[in-house]
Structure 1
Amino acid sequence: MILAEELKKRGHTVWLGVHKHSQDIVKATGIDTVEIGGDLEHFLSITSEGIELRRNPSILKMGLVKRTFQPMIEEWFNGILSGIKDADLIVLTVASIFLGLSCIEKFPNTKAIGIYTFPVTRTAHFSPPGLGGKSDSLFNWTNLLKWKIVDFTMSNIYNDKLNELRATKDLPSMKLNYDRMTRSLFRKPMISATIYSKYFLPRPSDWHENDHMVGPIPEEGNQNFEPPTPILDFLTKWKNEKIIYVGLGSMMGTMFEADEKMEFIRKILLALDRNNCKAVISLVGFENNDISKLSTTDNILYLTHDIPHCWLFLHMSATIHHGGAGTTHASLRYGLPTLVLSFGADQPFNGDRIFINRLGPRSIPIRQTNVKNLANAIRDVMIDNYNIIFIKPVLKRLAN
C-alpha cells in the first residue's frame, strides 16, 4: 500500500491485485484494484486439507500443501493474467513470483521487478525463510542444501497445475525454478529489491548485482490521526510504567478458529498478570461477543480498531507479535525489544534474526505457547538489557 501510494504520487497509474475482501480497504486510499481470487484465509477455513494445514503449517508437508493450494493456483493465474494485460510494469511479490513470471511471458513488452518482504534468492550465507527453524546453519553447504529443498518443494506444489494452465494460453511447459525462469524471460537475473534491513540481515556477497537489499518501507505518521480517548487515558494513567504491545494481526483469523483465538488471549492475559504487566492488546477482527467474554483490569487495554504503529509504538516499551516482516521492522524502528510468536512462512526466520541480534528473546512457535513459557518470555523481554534498548531515548527525542 505504501509503495502504491508513493508510485501514484509520482504520476504513475497504479492498480493492486488483491482478494475481494481487501478491495474496499484499498480503494478507500484512492488506489485502483484488480480482484485476484484464491483467498488463502477462505480455503484454510472451508477445506479439510486447509484446516489440517492451519493446525500444522509446514511447506514440507508437500501432499497436504499441494492439495490445499491446487484450487487456488488457477484463480491466482487467471486473476494475474487479467490484471497485467494493460501494464507496462508488474511488481512481483513473494506470493506471486511463479504465477507472475508465468503470466508475463504472454506479454513480452511488459517489464517486471521483484519487491520482496524477505529474501528469495539463493545464498550460502543463510537458510531460506519459509523453511522454518533457524535462519542460518553451521556450514554454508547446509544453507545451499536447504535452498534446494525449498526449490524442489515449490516446484512440486506448483509445477503440474501451472503447466496445465500455461498450455491453455499456448505457453510451453517449463520447470519452476526462480533463477531459471527469470534468466529465461529477461536473459539475465531480474532486478529485485528485498525490503529488509541490511543491519538485521547483511546482504549476501554471493548475490547477483541485480539483487538489492534496500531496507524496509516505513509507515510514516498520519498528521490527521487522532487517537481515541481510551488509549490516551490509559497511557496517561501508566505514563511512568512500562507498557507492552500484543498484536498478532490477520494471522489470528487465518490460522485460528474462534475458540482457539480466545484460548490464546486468555493464556496471554495470565502470563501478563504473572509479571504484573501493563499491556495494550489488539483485538482487531475479533467478534464483539467474544471480546465481551474477556476479563477486564486496569492493567489491560483492548484495541478494537487499527492504530498506526508509527504513533502507538512511540508509547510502548516492548512488543509481542507474529513476526511478519512489516511489524518486525516497525518494532525495531521504534526501539522495542520484541518477542515473536510465529505461525509459519518467514516468521520463524524473523524471530530467529531478532534472537541472534539480541533484540529480543528466542521466539516461540504459536502452537507451542503455554502460560509458563509465555510468562518467562514476557519477563525476559521486559527486563533484559537488549541491544535495542539504548536507542529508545534517542527515538523519543526525535519524536518530540
Structure 2
Amino acid sequence: MSIATATRMESVDIDQENVHGNSTSRKRIFIPAIGSLGDVKPFLILAQELKNRGHIVWLGVHKRFEEKVKATGIDTVEIGGDMEISLSTTPDGIELQRSASVFKLGLAKRVLLPIIEEWFNGILAGVKDADFIVFPCSCVLVGLSCIEKYPNIKAIGIYTFPCVRTAEFTPPALGGQSESMFSWMNSLKWKMLEYGASSMYNDRINQLRASIDLAPIKLNYDQMIESIFHKPMKTATIYSKYLIPRPSDWSENDHLVGPILEEENHDFQPSIDIQMFLDKWENEKIIYVGLGSMMSIMFGRDDQLEFLKNIQQAIGNNNCKAIISLVGLQQANIDKLTSDENIFFLKEIIPHCWLFPNMSATIHHGGAGTTHTSLRYGLPTLVLPFGADQPFNGDRIFVNKLGPRPIPIRKTNVKNLTNAISDLMQNYSMYQANAKTIGESMRDEDGLGHCVRLIEAELMA
C-alpha cells in the first residue's frame, strides 16, 4: 500500500473514531464507488446513512471526486483508472470511444487492462482494514478477484441496474432492447457477456493475483462467490420494480429494492437568471435536456456543437421551452448558438431534486439515477443513450409508455429529434399519467432502507 493510501486509511481510523466513540456495534465498511459522478452518488448517500448509524465508512473514488465526497464527511481512498479520463485524453482511448468494435479487441485491451489493474490495486488497498465491502456492478469481478487476500471479510453486491443472470431479459450492460421473445436468447446473451469479460480480463487478473500470492482463478461470477464465501452472496439491485419486475428465476438472496435517490433539497438557492426563466414560463411546459459527463467523452468539440444546434432547432420546431444543461459540454463553443428566449443554457450543476419539480418533461442519456429521478417527479422522458445500461433504461421507458422510443445519441439529427419531441408533447397526457403513477409507487420502495437492513443483517450473520 502506498504512503498516500496509508495516510488516508489512518485518517479513517482517527476521524470517525472520534465521532462515534467505542460502540461495539460499529463496523468498518468499504465501498469502491468506481465510475462517473452519477455512479458515485447512490453509494455516497448509502455511506452517509451507514455512518449515521454508527459505522465507520469510507469510499474508494477517482481523484476528481475525493473533494466532493470528503465535503459530506465521508473519508476516501483514491482509486485510479478513471475511465472517463482515459477515454477522453489518451489517443487509444479516444479512438476506442469514437469507433468501438468487437474487431478492436487489441485496442480495447490496451485501454482497459491498465484501468483494471488500477482498480484491483485500489480495492486491495481500500479493503485492507474493512470488516465489510459493498460491491457495485462496475467492479464486482475485479473486487471478488482480490478480496480473497482477506478471508474473513463479508460482502454484498449493490447494483444500480440488474447484473444477476436471468432468462427473463437481456443483460442491461450489453445495451439494446430490454426484452426478447425467447428466454434461451436472453440466457445466451448473459453467457456471452460473461465470456467476453473473462476473455478480456482473466489473464491480467491472474497476473495481479500472482503478485499477491493468490492462485489463478476463472473469472466467473458464481464460481468466484462460491470459492470465496462458500455460500451465495446477497445482492440488492437499486432499480425500480415498476420499471422491470423482479425476475422469478432469481434466488432468494437476490433482491430488487428500488433506487437510492437524493432527498428533496428545499434550501437550494438558484441563480437569478434561471429563476427568472422559470417565472417567465411558469404556465408553459418546460423540457430539461441534460446528457451528463459522457457528452465530452464521446463527442469531439464539433460534434457537441452540432448536437446542441440540432436539439435547439428540434425544440424550436415544436415551439417548446427548454433548459439545456451544458455541464459535460464544456468544449462546445456556445457563442455559436443562436440566441433564443425560449431556451435557457444551464452552465452550473443544479440538484435534479430541486430542478425537476419545475420541469414538465426530460431528455437525457438514460443513466439509472437520472432515469429514476425523472420518473420520481412524474416526468415524461426521452432517452438518448450512449451505451452500457442506458439503452436498456431507455427501452424500459418506451415499453412502459413513459416516453418515446429512445434514439441512440450518435444517430440523432434534427428530423428524428423533432419527431421524438413531437411525440413527447402530442402524447404528453398519457406519458405524464403513467410517469406519475410510477413515480408515486417508487417513493414507497425505500431502496436505501432495504440496503442498510441487508448490510446490517450480513454483518450480524
Fold in common (TM above 0.5): yes
Amino acid at match of 2:92: E
Equivalent residues in 2 for 1:35-114, closer than 5 Å: 35-57=78-100, 62-114=105-157
| Change beyond 3 A, Cα 1:263–1:166 | same
2:223 paired residue among 156, 180, 184: 180
In the TM superposition, what whole-angstrom CA distance separates every residue of 1:231-258 from its partner, at most 9, and x where no partner exists? 2111111111111000001111222223
Structure 2 match to 1:121? 164
| Change beyond 3 A, Cα 1:124–1:162 | same
CA distance in 2, matches of 1:213, 1:36: 28
1:235 is the counterpart of 2:278: yes
Structure 2 unaligned residues grouped into runs of 5+: 1-43, 444-461
CA distance in 2, matches of 1:376, 1:392: 20
Amino acid at match of 2:249: D
In the TM superposition, what whole-angstrom CA distance separates every residue of 1:61-97 from its partner, at most 9, and x where no partner exists? 5444323201111111111111110111111111111
Equivalent residues in 2 for 1:14-53, closer than 5 Å: 14-53=57-96
CA contact (8 A) 2:237 2:255 kept: yes
In the TM superposition, what whole-angstrom CA distance separates every residue of 1:352-389 from its partner, at most 9, and x where no partner exists? 11111111111011111111001100111122146441
1:329 is the counterpart of 2:365: no
2:333 paired residue among 280, 285, 290: 290
CA distance in 2, matches of 1:64, 1:332: 38
Structure 2 match to 1:343? 386
Cα displacement (A) at 1:310? 1.3
Amino acid at match of 1:98: L
CA distance in 1, matches of 2:330, 2:186: 43
Amino acid at match of 1:374: L
CA distance in 1, matches of 2:248, 2:334: 49
CA distance in 2, matches of 1:381, 1:249: 21
Greater alpha carbon shift after TM alignment, 376-385 vs 108-117: 376-385
Equivalent residues in 2 for 1:198-237, closer than 5 Å: 198-237=241-280
CA distance in 1, matches of 2:329, 2:345: 11
Structure 2 match to 1:10? 53
Cα displacement (A) at 1:166? 0.3
| Change beyond 3 A, Cα 1:392–1:349 | closer
Structure 2 match to 1:261? 304
CA distance in 1, matches of 2:436, 2:256: 28
CA distance in 1, matches of 2:59, 2:256: 23
Amino acid at match of 1:353: R
Equivalent residues in 2 for 1:361-380, closer than 5 Å: 361-380=404-423
Cα displacement (A) at 1:51? 1.4
| Change beyond 3 A, Cα 1:6–1:58 | farther
CA distance in 1, matches of 2:384, 2:137: 21
Secondary structure of residue in 2 paired with 1:292: helix
Secondary structure of residue in 1 paired with 2:363: strand
CA contact (8 A) 1:358 1:386 kept: no
1:315 is the counterpart of 2:358: yes
Length-normalised TM-score, structure 1 = 0.95
Amino acid at match of 2:110: R
1:270 is the counterpart of 2:313: yes
Secondary structure of residue in 2 paired with 1:130: helix
Cα displacement (A) at 1:161? 0.5
Amino acid at match of 1:163: N
Amino acid at match of 1:237: K
Q: How many residues align?
A: 397
Cα displacement (A) at 1:210? 0.6
Cα displacement (A) at 1:130? 1.6
1:389 is the counterpart of 2:389: no
Secondary structure of residue in 1 paired with 2:292: coil
2:203 paired residue among 138, 160, 163: 160
1:360 is the counterpart of 2:403: yes
In the TM superposition, what whole-angstrom CA distance separates every residue of 1:131-174 from its partner, at most 9, and x where no partner exists? 12211111101100010000100111110111110000000111
Secondary structure of residue in 1 paired with 2:324: strand
Length-normalised TM-score, structure 2 = 0.82
CA distance in 2, matches of 1:33, 1:302: 33
1:300 is the counterpart of 2:343: yes
Secondary structure of residue in 2 paired with 1:105: helix
Sequence identity of aligned pairs in percent?
Answer: 63
Structure 1 unaligned residues grouped into runs of 5+: none
Secondary structure of residue in 2 paired with 1:124: coil
Secondary structure of residue in 2 paired with 1:246: strand
Secondary structure of residue in 2 paired with 1:375: helix
CA contact (8 A) 1:119 1:194 kept: yes
1:169 is the counterpart of 2:212: yes
CA distance in 1, matches of 2:330, 2:165: 42
Cα displacement (A) at 1:37? 0.6
Amino acid at match of 1:229: I
CA contact (8 A) 2:294 2:328 kept: no
CA contact (8 A) 1:59 1:153 kept: no
CA contact (8 A) 1:244 1:316 kept: yes
Structure 2 match to 1:137? 180
CA contact (8 A) 2:404 2:420 kept: yes
| Change beyond 3 A, Cα 1:224–1:59 | farther
